[in-house]
Homo-oligomer: A and B are copies of this chain.
């Protein structure tokens, strides 16, 4: 390590205009040092403020009369079936409004349903019996995991029964040789990752909501997150899915093999289906060895063009050890500061910031690569300033500036969230264009008379994935109309995706046509009808 440090020091002296913290990085050989990185998501904001019912916000949406209304008899059946007290929250025959409320409203406090019944089955057999009953009686349901989804998919619109996975929370097996984890759908992502950390492995997915979201929910939304760049998509990593179809059929595709070419890969359909064709009850997933060395750096950058250069250089210098390249604009970082009161790691303000993370098996090698990268981007003036985490606290601290944005925004009122894929050259242009549009319309301003507080952009640069967020003082139909469908048209023109990782839910249902053609939508509807002919699974959403 000493030689690495010397180069760092040399770097500082020779190249940094404002020499700062490019000192010793974290080179943790004890994986537990990074095992604890957590970011618990407090269920959002303004808890006192009433959330508008989705049925009022979307007045065109009518309850489908084909669905039955829940009766006391139904409730009795479920109570009998699920046994335990804690498995049924019954707002039908008792007054349980307060207990039910958290299951009716979403993390953003933007969507709110009218359910009067929450069920928490404990295994696939119970899920199967619940669904069979609902299907026979035409009772609509909403599968729900950690309820951290950002498109309103996880909560009811009307009186759909919530089937929550939180009591299916067992890790079933882990094989150290192959790295394959088999677990119930309701295991919390962070719990799974901690379990793996103790066994020197890593869950191949990481995201800001890890302390609350369920791995079944992650699969159901095909979540992307912070390290997709390195570990790839869930379509590649999930080896097996156990699920229950609308009619109660148990789909047992829980293979633990890396390769299994015996027929159509049906499990893929559940990944990203957002609970519209069945409930995932378990999954098996390939988990890589936990990296022995992890470094993270935070940069200030003067222009988006330079961010792109830094990204190219990171790919070239860091190559196989690059595990995250995240982009945040200046305004988003100001909002984190405003919301948390924390001091930004850099002295001056910049229009852009990046978080660059490396993960590797040899701290010295990684450091050497990182130094060559730093030397290059500092030497060439591609980035203006930067810090490298020196210890666990700084490591967590830096990540919080990126991961904290979603929550920081939620504390400031409402947020119109657009999670989009756009080819890199124009990625940030969308934010500028949107800000300009809303400013021209007179919506944006610093005092409370303006509906829009800020138009910010951040996201997973390494995956061409931008989060455009319009932070509003409260949700406002005028503002929404100014953004939509304008934003979707903008994206369609660039062959982008209107939903990169968050999915469709209720928020994007109407707009799928901007990213999929008619034939695709027709084929999707055909599949939906095949697996859920009565349409009881998460109605009013997705397609």
Contacts and interface: CB of A to CB of B under 8 A. Distances in A.
Interface of A: 175, 177-178, 221-222, 224, 228, 232-233, 235-237, 249-253, 255-266, 268-269, 271-273, 277, 289, 291, 312, 315-321, 360-362, 365, 368-369, 421, 423-425, 460, 463-465, 495-504, 508, 512, 515-517, 519-521, 523-524, 526-528, 530, 542-543
Contacts of A291: 319-320
Interface centre among A235, A262, A523 (most CB of B within 10 A): A262
17 contacts: A236-B236, A251-B520, A251-B523, A258-B463, A260-B421, A260-B497, A260-B515, A261-B501, A261-B503, A264-B528, A265-B268, A266-B524, A268-B268, A268-B269, A289-B315, A317-B361, A320-B321
Contact of A523 (B266, B273, B368, B543): B266
A499 B262 contact: yes
Nearest to A271: B265
A272 B515 CA distance: 25
A269 B265 contact: yes
Given A222-B265, A251-B520, A269-B268, A256 B495 contact: yes
A261 B504 contact: yes
Given A252-B517, A268-B235, A263 B369 contact: no
B504 A258 contact: no
A489 to B, nearest CB: 15
A516 B263 contact: yes
Contacts of A498: 262
A442 to B, nearest CB: 32
10 shortest A-B CB distances, which residue pairs? A236-B236, A319-B361, A268-B268, A259-B500, A260-B497, A257-B421, A365-B365, A262-B515, A232-B236, A258-B463
A107 to B, nearest CB: 17
A175 to B, nearest CB: 8
A464 B251 contact: no
A260 B500 contact: yes
Contacts of A271: 265
B319 A500 contact: no
A421 B240 CA distance: 14
Contacts of A361: 316-320, 369
Nearest to A320: B320
A37 to B, nearest CB: 20
A250 B271 CA distance: 24
Contacts of A266: 520, 523-524, 527
Nearest to A321: B320
B258 A264 contact: no
A369 B364 CA distance: 11
Contacts of A269: 264-265, 268-269
A497 B257 contact: yes
Nearest to A269: B264
Given A221-B261, A268-B265, A320-B321, A249 B519 contact: yes
Interface centre among A177, A315, A320 (most CB of B within 10 A): A320
A104 B449 CA distance: 76
Given A360-B319, A360-B320, A259 B465 contact: yes
A518 to B, nearest CB: 10
B264 A497 contact: no
A360 B317 CA distance: 11
A421 B258 contact: yes
B542 A261 contact: no
Contacts of A424: 177-178
